[in-house]
Amino acid sequence: MSEAGDKLRLDKWLWFARFFKTRSLSAARVAAGDVRVNAERVTKRATTIQPGDVLTFAIGRDVRIIEVVAIGTRRGPAPEAQTLYNDMSPEPAPRETPVPENPRFEGKGRPTKRVRRQGDLSRARHLE
């Protein structure tokens, strides 16, 4: 490949690799400074990347660490996009399930009339 073909804009590559649904979303995340290239924070959308670069960014609660393997030519299907990078992200921590406030009512349907009255009485005692 030629020298010009070995590099691609960061926002365009993130969109090619299907990390963001639209190119404007990927450009906004780069402009906000949420993406690091080789451990350096970048804010320019037109930052060029090449194979071997390591990208670090957050998606939701998870931090993604991605090594660029290839530069794509189009935004193809997901299996094609997965060949563009090597995912080096750590395994996400297991999510804890929230504990219900009322142990009798576990969020399964409506509370019975008896349970509702007991809740009302206990609140009334705390207000006195």
Q: Is the pLDDT of residue 105 over 60?
A: no
Q: Is the pLDDT of residue 48 over 80?
A: yes
Q: Is the pLDDT of residue 31 over 90?
A: yes
- Residue 34, number of CB atoms within 10 A of its CB: 15
CATH number of the domain at 4-87, please?
A: 3.10.290.10
Q: What are the residue boundaries of the structural domains of the chain, listed by start?
A: 4-87
Q: Is the pLDDT of residue 78 over 70?
A: yes
Task: Calculate what percentage of the chain has a pLDDT beyond 70.
Answer: 84
What is the overall mean pLDDT for the chain? 85
Q: Are 29 and 37 in contact (CB under 8 A)?
A: no
Quick one: pLDDT at residue 33? 92
- Residue 76, number of CB atoms within 10 A of its CB: 13
Can you read off the two tokens belonging to residue 63?
């931090």
